[in-house]
Amino acid sequence: MAKEPDVGGTGPIVVGVLLNQPSRVVLEARALAESLGTSLVFAYVQPNSYLVEWELKEDIRSKSLNPGQLDEDMSADAAEIIRMLEQTMEASSCEWSLRVLAGEPGHAIARLGEETHARMIVVGTRHKGFGARISELFNGSTASHVIAHQVLPVVVVPVHHDEP
């Protein structure tokens, strides 16, 4: 008898969120979570943050992925994300939370998925535009990084036609 494929955990759906991201990503994740009867863990990866794991000390791993102290900019960003999530999730019955992470976004989101035994990961595409193309040329897209380095199912929500 063939072995069933490993298709994700029994935990929440992990959703990558950005400042000024179209609400479609959150709305699609919300609909998916409601239909599956599960919760959502939104993940905001602080831009220009880095992992301190280069020192290879086990005791710094949780500080690295989950920064303990948020600076002023991080706090303002997190507050803006929370406002957006509260508005978008207000009509929903599913539980949700926000995690502020550090490091390369694709890896941070993938690690959070593993840490929470997530069912799947939901991310959005980038907006079209010159700045987005240049950034993707040098850094690649978060969606591509998550897909390439993940064993969990990944749902990619196209947002390039949506308004923020």
Is residue 3 a part of any domain in this protein? no
- Average pLDDT, rounded, for the chain: 75
pLDDT value at 90 more than 60: yes
Is residue 19 a part of any domain in this protein? yes
Q: For residue 155, count other CB atoms closer than 10 A to its CB.
A: 16
Is residue 141 a part of any domain in this protein? yes
Helix (H) or strand (E) holding 24: helix 24-36
DSSP 146-161: HHHT-SS-EEEE--TT
Any idea what the CATH number is for the domain that residue 136 is in?
3.40.50.620
Is residue 8 a part of any domain in this protein? no
Of 152, 157, 160, 138, the residue nearest 16 (C-alpha) = 157
Q: Give the whole-angstrom CA distance, residue 54 versus residue 47.
A: 19
Q: Give the whole-angstrom CA distance, residue 108 versus residue 112.
A: 6
pTM confidence score: 0.75
Is residue 6 a part of any domain in this protein? no
> What single letter denotes the amino acid at residue 143?
A
- Cβ proximity of 38 and 121 under 8 Å: no
Phi and psi (nearest 5°) for 139?
-110, -15
Is residue 136 a part of any domain in this protein? yes
Q: 7 to each of 96, 121, 145, how far by Cα in Å?
A: 22, 12, 19
pLDDT score of 160: 66
The per-residue pLDDT for range 19-47, each reduced to its tens digit, is: 888 899 999 999 999 999 999 999 998 87
Percentage of residues in the chain with pLDDT exceeding 90? 34
- Between residues 76 and 132, the one the model is more confident about: 76
| Tally of structural domains, the chain | 1
Q: Give the whole-angstrom CA distance, residue 13 versus residue 162.
A: 23
Q: Which domain holds residue 70?
A: 13-157
